Amino acid sequence: MAIELILTESVEGLGVEGDVVRVAEGYARNYLLPRKLAAPVTEAARRRLETRRRAREEQQKQELEKARALVAALEQASCTIAVKTGAEGKLFGSVTAGDIVGALKAQGLELDKRQIELPEPLRELGVFNLPVRIHPEVQATLKVWIVEE
């Protein structure tokens, strides 16, 4: 026999949050219900699900606004990193995403080093435009200057 449930979270291979699905009683009783991945189809469950959806949308909207404000600040900022160089302008070491985050922190901008899309450390002097992924929907370009000490 099958039972109808509302998914309270996305379940791979079954559906996304809010879907009404028909599953075997054993699957519902032993897996979905104990893990709170689903709830019986009732009006109260639908209201709870709708409330959670609205709260999540509001939180996502606030995060997007914060991300856009940070992008505006990053577009205005430029990051200058002074490094030691040897003969012929060769760098001793390299400039990593951690170094860039540290320089931005000194300017009052908070980023995580994983947000800077740097495929490999920078090993030469110059100006670099680096993509920064602030939010899945928002990306900025940061201008990084690497200069001699």
Taking only the tens place, the pLDDT of each residue in 88-147 is 778 888 899 999 999 999 888 888 989 999 989 998 889 999 999 988 888 989 999 999
The yes-or-no verdict on residue 33 having pLDDT over 90 is yes
Distances (CA, A) of 26 to 19, 21, 109, 119, 124: 19, 14, 52, 48, 62
Q: Are the beta carbons of 143 and 149 closer than 8 angstroms?
A: no
Instruction: Identify which of 72, 73, 128 has the alpha carbon closest to the alpha carbon of residue 100.
Output: 128
pTM equals 0.67
Contact predicate 3/25, CB 8 Å? yes
- The domains of the chain, with CATH numbers, are 2-65 (3.40.5.10), 67-148 (3.10.430.100)
Query: What amino acid occupies position 125?
Result: L
Rounded-to-integer distance, Cα 100 and Cα 79, Å: 7
